[in-house]
């Protein structure tokens, strides 16, 4: 926030009139005190955890904007993501947002560890794979003491520290928000100031227990000039000078009952210059930190030439403005390593900005891969990449914007306004087939998408499908028939030979396409919303109905009235089952799929195809027996959360 925009004018007036002005410069106190990362990693599907990670951070951001704290749990055990965030009570909404933005850029360093916490002087966040909301204290509780001691009267200062800690904790326990500030003076040169804060998840008795233990711990820091107690359920800080924001500096979340302290600024030119220089220095420091966390800052001269010299680079500053500072109102999708926002550029052009949140090596590699792959291809059924941004603390991919968003919102939601009739569904199936045929057989390089699913299909204004999310895509170069690689994709859509052996060919995309066809016909997810990883219960249901000649029983209820289309729907089911054969050699190439869909009589003529049972294997039981060097990444079927967040999730490498 540019404080000097609204401070310079009042201060200059004070200078000219020789008035003494009372004002206060708010402070987000975004200095990191301590960060803890658990040393254990999730044994389950890592990208599932990543998906929950990002969703939780966005949920907390929404809560923080409204009330200054938030708790959330995302996913299902044993991979549920639990998280808590809270700003200290004296921070304004703006400063709370600034403090949390620092957490957003720093705490993801703990990923993929399954727990972490970070203490800043103005805010706190913790996450874990279990519910810790009732924890008051734990083994990580500690105190942090400054290196310098009180210089004049150490004994008197220690006494003042004990007194001010007692006062602050007593007031906080008595308050209804678990927060208080206090000061104690022993002489003109000996004074101590303290702040005590419990996290909102604690009740009154738990808050009292936490603050009492924390106060006793941090009291041992004296006569050090500053001390902080970092506990699971609370935070205490003391210092030789007041450090909290006064009430008139904070447009606060709740009414305050603590003493307001103002900072009296002299009207002298020197005081004005010091103020302005301090503000500019603070912003320069923030900008330097942002540059260091950008992809350009991380990679320097090693940043791929195609990205660093691209004429399509967007600036972080412009994207921030175009999304209204990444406002929740402009959020249109959610994925495993980022969030997608609608951005309105100068001139009124609307684009979709994929904000990459987790700057881990895996996610950065996916970023580079997506830029590299999708910049090589152009097809009416592939989403168009417009550019990228690599100069800010978070990196972006910029795509053409499609207001209808993703296919899953139409085939899985109950919203009648998003209903697709059979002809529209058939056109979507046909368009996806054409897009995959282009990737496999018509582009200069053979590309395997690896993550074909409903949330990765965008629909334009005419409901024409666009394949998106090429973060996991692989190029099959030369005369190679397959790749042996670590498995990555979405459970339920992945071909059996790929899951078991890491054996990747175009037939893996064909299999995913077949599952998607079945979903479009039935209106059901491939593995439901129960979190099961078997992934093939829907195929089993459809297969049994097909063999019993009762396909009408599995057709989406919203299509039941289109009785005249039943024969075409049955043929589509037949194509879907043909694409999901257990043996990849028995699956057709996508060019053949396009022929079958285009020539509906031809599709009928292939009713004599011998279809074997779909592969009913349990993914949970399968060992990752691949011999590639890429980390395994098993993603879940789209959950109900996808529907709520509006999956342009796509865009985010799920």
Place of tokens 């396409």: 513
What's the token pair of residue 4? 């000097």
Q: Is the peptide bond before 456 cis (omega within 30 degrees of 0)?
A: no
Q: How many CB atoms lie within 10 A of CB 255?
A: 7
Nearest to 443 by CA among 396, 483, 475: 475
328: Cβ contacts below 8 Å, ≥ 6 apart? 58, 61, 62, 65
Angstrom distance (rounded) from CA 436 to CA 447: 9
CB 355 within 8 A of CB 57: no
Binding site annotation covers 317? no
CB 253 within 8 A of CB 97: no
Angstrom distance (rounded) from CA 602 to CA 587: 17
Helix or strand (DSSP H, E) at 541:
helix 537-547
- Angle, in degrees to the nearest 10, between helices 269-293 and 4-17: 170
Place of tokens 């560890």: 113
451 is catalytic: yes
CB 82 within 8 A of CB 130: yes
Instruction: Work out whether strand 483-484 and strand 142-145 pair parallel, antiparallel, or are unpaired.
Output: unpaired
Number of H helices, E strands in the chain: 19, 25
- Angle, in degrees to the nearest 10, between helices 46-67 and 93-106: 170
For 180-220, the DSSP string reads EEEEEESSSS-EEEEEEEE-TTS-HHHHHHHHHHHHHHHHT
Write the secondary structure of 415-428 as one string of H (helix), E (strand) and C (coil).
Answer: CHHHCCCHHHHHHH
Place of tokens 């691949």: 626
The catalytically annotated residue of 51, 121, 451, 509 is 451
For 264-316, the DSSP string reads EEP-SHHHHHHHHHHHHHHHHHHHHHHHHHSHHHHHGGGS-HHHHT-TTBPPH
Distances (CA, A) of 176 to 125, 172, 566: 21, 8, 64
CA 285 remoteness from chain centre: 26
Angstrom distance (rounded) from CA 459 to CA 402: 6
Q: Is the Cα dihedral 169, 173, 175, 177 positive or negative?
A: positive
Give the bridge partners for 142, in sequence order: 230
Q: What are phi and psi of 407, to 5 degrees?
A: -60, -35
Q: Is 348 left (phi over 0), alpha (psi -120 to 50) or beta?
A: left
Binding-site residues from annotation = 354
Binding-site residues from annotation for ATP = 354
Active site residues: 451
């Amino acid at each position: 926030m540019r404080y000097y925009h609204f401070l310079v004018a009042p201060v200059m007036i004070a200078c000219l009139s020789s008035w003494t002005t009372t004002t206060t410069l708010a402070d987000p106190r975004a200095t990191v005190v301590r960060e803890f990362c658990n040393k254990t990693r999730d044994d389950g599907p890592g990208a599932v955890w990543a998906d929950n990670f990002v969703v939780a951070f966005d949920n907390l951001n929404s809560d923080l904007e409204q009330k200054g704290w938030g708790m959330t749990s995302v996913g299902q055990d044993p991979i549920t993501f639990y998280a808590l965030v809270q700003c200290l009570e004296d921070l304004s909404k703006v400063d709370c947002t600034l403090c949390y933005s620092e957490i957003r850029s720093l705490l993801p360093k703990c990923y993929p560890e399954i727990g972490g916490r970070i203490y800043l002087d103005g805010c706190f966040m913790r996450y874990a794979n279990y519910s810790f909301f009732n924890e008051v204290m734990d083994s990580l509780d500690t105190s942090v003491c400054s290196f310098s001691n009180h210089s004049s009267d150490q004994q008197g200062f220690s006494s003042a520290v004990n007194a001010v800690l007692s006062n602050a904790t007593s007031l906080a326990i008595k308050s209804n928000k678990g927060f208080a500030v206090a000061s104690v003076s022993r002489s003109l040169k000996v004074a101590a100031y303290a702040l005590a804060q419990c996290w909102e998840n604690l009740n009154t008795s738990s808050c009292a227990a936490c603050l009492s233990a924390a106060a006793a711990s941090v009291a041992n820091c004296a006569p050090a000039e500053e001390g902080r107690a970092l506990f699971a359920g609370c935070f205490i800080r003391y210092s030789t000078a007041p450090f909290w924001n006064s009430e008139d500096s904070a447009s606060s979340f709740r009414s305050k009952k603590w003493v307001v302290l103002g900072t009296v600024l002299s009207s002298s030119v020197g005081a004005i210059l010091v103020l302005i220089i301090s503000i500019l220095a603070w912003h320069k420091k923030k900008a330097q930190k942002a540059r260091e966390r950008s992809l350009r800052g991380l990679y320097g001269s090693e940043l791929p030439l195609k990205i660093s010299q691209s004429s399509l680079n967007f600036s972080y500053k412009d994207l921030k403005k175009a999304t209204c500072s990444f406002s929740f109102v402009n959020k249109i999708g959610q994925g495993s390593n980022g969030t997608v926002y609608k951005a309105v550029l100068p001139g009124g052009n609307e684009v979709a900005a994929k904000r990459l949140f987790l700057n881990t090596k895996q996610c950065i590699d996916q970023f580079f891969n997506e830029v590299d792959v999708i910049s090589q291809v152009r097809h009416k059924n592939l989403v168009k990449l417009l550019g990228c941004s690599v100069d800010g603390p978070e990196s972006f991919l910029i795509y053409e914007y499609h207001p209808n968003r993703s296919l899953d919102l139409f085939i899985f939601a109950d919203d009648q306004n998003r209903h697709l009739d059979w002809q529209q569904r058939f056109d979507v199936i046909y368009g996806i087939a054409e897009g995959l045929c282009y990737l496999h057989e018509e582009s200069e390089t053979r590309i395997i998408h690896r993550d074909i699913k409903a949330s990765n299909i965008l629909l334009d204004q005419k409901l024409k499908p666009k394949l998106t999310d090429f973060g996991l895509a692989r190029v099959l170069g030369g005369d190679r028939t397959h790749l042996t690689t670590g498995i990555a994709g979405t459970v339920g859509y992945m071909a059996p030979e790929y899951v078991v052996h890491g054996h990747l060919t175009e037939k893996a995309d064909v299999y995913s396409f077949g599952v998607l066809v079945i979903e479009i016909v039935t209106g059901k997810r491939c593995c439901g919303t129960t979190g099961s990883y078997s992934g093939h219960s829907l195929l089993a249901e459809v297969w049994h109905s097909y063999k019993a000649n009762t396909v009408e029983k599995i057709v989406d209820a919203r299509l039941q009235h289109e009785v005249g289309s039943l024969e075409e729907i049955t043929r589509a089911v037949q194509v879907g089952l043909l694409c999901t054969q257990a043996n990849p050699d028995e699956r057709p190439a996508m060019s053949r799929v396009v022929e079958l869909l285009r020539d509906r009589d031809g599709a009928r003529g292939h009713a004599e195809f011998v279809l074997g049972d779909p592969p009913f294997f349990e993914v949970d039981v399968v060992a990752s027996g691949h011999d590639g060097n890429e980390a395994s990444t098993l993603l879940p079927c789209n959950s109900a959360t996808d529907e709520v967040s509006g999956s342009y999730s796509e865009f985010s490498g799920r």
